[in-house]
Structure 1
């Protein structure tokens, strides 16, 4: 384990604005964010990147559009995850992928409330 918890801080703070998102601990004690108990993203144990849950179609889009930011280690090829290098300085892009991930894990009511501006 070679990670520094503070490297995940910006991702964590951005993700926690979504309803149902909560801090957790995942693989090998790494910090993570779960939505309704399901893994949204986590700091990889080597501390250099964050795997985030995205659909396969979205994953391919971001890999092609931002090859300098996103990558796909062999281990993740068969899973609906995409990995991004830290730090991800583009706050708008970070919010965009976190929202896509969150919508995959949130309830219909949480999504409806979010879209109406009732997020808590």
Structure 2
């Protein structure tokens, strides 16, 4: 996958817009970060993943999911785009989107 692939998926969801964060492209929901491209150009920085879930993801798919010391104390996971598939990453993105989007937007999306 590429960042453009991710962008194509999530811009179809209500309230998602292009932005930037720490000088890299980001996708935001109501001005809050859904995901951003890491400086390496091949990884996503995805907040909203509790440490216990992050540890499980890293343990089960270490080629896809990882974190650095910088993110150790944050509810964040890093995702290698070149190693992941849509079926792996989309459910995580959608769940995080649901926490950021307005209740009305989520209801309308679910009603499609």
Q: Which runs of no fewer than 5 residues in structure 2 stay unpaired?
A: none
Q: Does structure 1 residue 47 correspond to structure 2 residue 44?
A: no
Counterpart in the other structure of 1:84: 79
Change (3 A) 1:63 1:104: farther
Q: Which runs of no fewer than 5 residues in structure 1 stay unpaired?
A: 1-6
Q: TM-score, normalised by structure 2?
A: 0.86
Q: 2:13 aligned to 14, 18, 22, which one?
A: 18
Counterpart in the other structure of 2:103: 108
Q: CA deviation at 1:78?
A: 1.8
Partners in 2 of 1:71 and 1:25 — Cα distance? 22
Counterpart in the other structure of 2:92: 97
Change (3 A) 1:110 1:39: same
Give structure 1 regions of 4+ aligned residues with deviation exceeding 4 angstroms.
Answer: none
Q: TM-score, normalised by structure 1?
A: 0.81
Q: Does structure 1 residue 60 correspond to structure 2 residue 47?
A: no
Partners in 2 of 1:22 and 1:88 — Cα distance? 25
Give 1 or 2: higher strand fraction: 2
Give the match's secondary structure for 1:87. helix
